[in-house]
């Protein structure tokens, strides 16, 4: 049973205090919803959790060990889905997905299965430049499925997704949690996940 937690997290972006004394704790099988108005620091919190940024003060730990002690080990257990979809227009959909899954190492869902699970199984050979915003978003999300990562950090995952795909995503997250994974999701929409914690970030937007 792994524990992912953070205490007294302060973060300053551009001379503005975005987070002050934020705290969270998450165990295997648990999910955490990040809520708050625009500019409340949801994305910042996810980037801190991923280790892309360091908090000004406070610590984020995995099983009691500071994640900045061994960033590479932390990277191996997380999948981050950010605002930018990181889809290369010059590569086909499948090439995009398999590159990241191979880089993450084995352990996750097969690339074509993951594409099918998100409803774009028929687009595998299409050059990614022809994808719509929602389809690019789905390609981005397959990275979490194929990575085999324990911790999913999803930043507004339902942006540009249609209702059916948002539902499919919810059930995929549920399946991930049942198999002992964790998920932190920032969202304005109601995902309908059972038994989740919520962290509401204040912020003085």
Partner 1 sequence: MSAFSVLFRREMRLAMRQSADSFMVIGFFVIAVVLFPFGVGPEPNMLARIGPGVIWVAALLAAMLSMDRMFMGDYEDGSLELLVLSPVALELVVCVKVLTHWLTTGLPLILTAPLLFVMMNVPGEIWLVLLLTLVLGTPVLSLLGSVGAALTLGARRGGVLLSLLVLPLLIPVLIFAVGAGDAVLFGNGAKANLMLLGGMLLGALALTPWVTAHALREAVA
The CB density around residue 42, as the number of other CB atoms within 10 Å, is 27
Among 61, 75, 112, 159, contact with partner 1 (rule: CB under 8 A)? 75
55 near partner 1 (CB under 8 A)? no
Residues 6+ apart with CB under 8 A from 183: 31, 32, 151, 152, 153, 154, 173, 176, 177
Q: Is the dihedral of CA 71, 28, 47, 87 positive or negative?
A: positive
183 near partner 1 (CB under 8 A)? no
Asked whether 45 and 201 are in contact (CB, 8 A), the reply is yes
Phi, psi at 169, each rounded to 5°: -65, -40
Among 1, 64, 84, 164, contact with partner 1 (rule: CB under 8 A)? 84
Q: Min. distance of Cβ 175 from partner 1 in angstroms?
A: 23
Residues 46/51/54/60 CA torsion (nearest 10 deg): 80
Q: Min. distance of Cβ 193 from partner 1 in angstroms?
A: 24
88 near partner 1 (CB under 8 A)? yes
Of 79-87, 116-124, 176-184, 187-195, which part binds partner 1 (CB under 8 A)? 79-87
Touching partner 1, residues 132-161 (CB under 8 A): 143
- Number of residues lying near partner 1 (CB under 8 A): 27
78 near partner 1 (CB under 8 A)? yes
189 near partner 1 (CB under 8 A)? no
Of 19-27, 49-57, 171-179, 181-189, which part binds partner 1 (CB under 8 A)? 49-57
41 near partner 1 (CB under 8 A)? no
Among 11, 22, 40, 85, contact with partner 1 (rule: CB under 8 A)? 85
Asked whether 60 and 25 are in contact (CB, 8 A), the reply is no
Rounded-to-integer distance, Cα 127 and Cα 123, Å: 9
Rounded-to-integer distance, Cα 138 and Cα 169, Å: 9
Residue numbers of the site for partner 1 (CB under 8 A)? 50-54, 72, 75-76, 78, 80, 82-88, 90-91, 95, 99-100, 102-105, 143
């Amino acid at each position: 049973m792994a524990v992912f937690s953070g205490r007294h997290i302060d973060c300053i972006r551009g001379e503005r205090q975005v987070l002050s004394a934020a705290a969270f704790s998450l165990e295997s099988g648990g999910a955490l919803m990040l809520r708050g108005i625009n500019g409340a620091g949801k994305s910042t919190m996810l980037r801190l959790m991923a280790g892309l940024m360091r908090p000004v003060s406070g610590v984020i730990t995995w099983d009691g060990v500071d994640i900045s002690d061994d960033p590479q080990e932390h990277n191996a257990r997380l999948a981050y889905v950010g605002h930018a979809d990181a889809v290369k227009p010059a590569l086909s959909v499948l090439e995009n997905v398999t590159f990241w899954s191979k880089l993450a190492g084995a352990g996750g869902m097969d690339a074509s299965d993951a594409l099918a699970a998100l409803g774009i199984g028929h687009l595998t050979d299409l050059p990614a430049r022809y994808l719509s915003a929602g389809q690019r978003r789905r390609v981005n999300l397959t990275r979490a499925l194929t990575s085999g990562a324990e911790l999913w950090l999803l930043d507004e995952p339902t942006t540009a997704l249609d209702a059916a795909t948002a539902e499919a995503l919810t059930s995929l997250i549920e399946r991930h949690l049942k198999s002992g994974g964790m998920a932190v999701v920032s969202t304005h929409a109601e995902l309908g996940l059972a038994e989740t914690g919520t962290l509401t970030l204040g912020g003085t937007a």
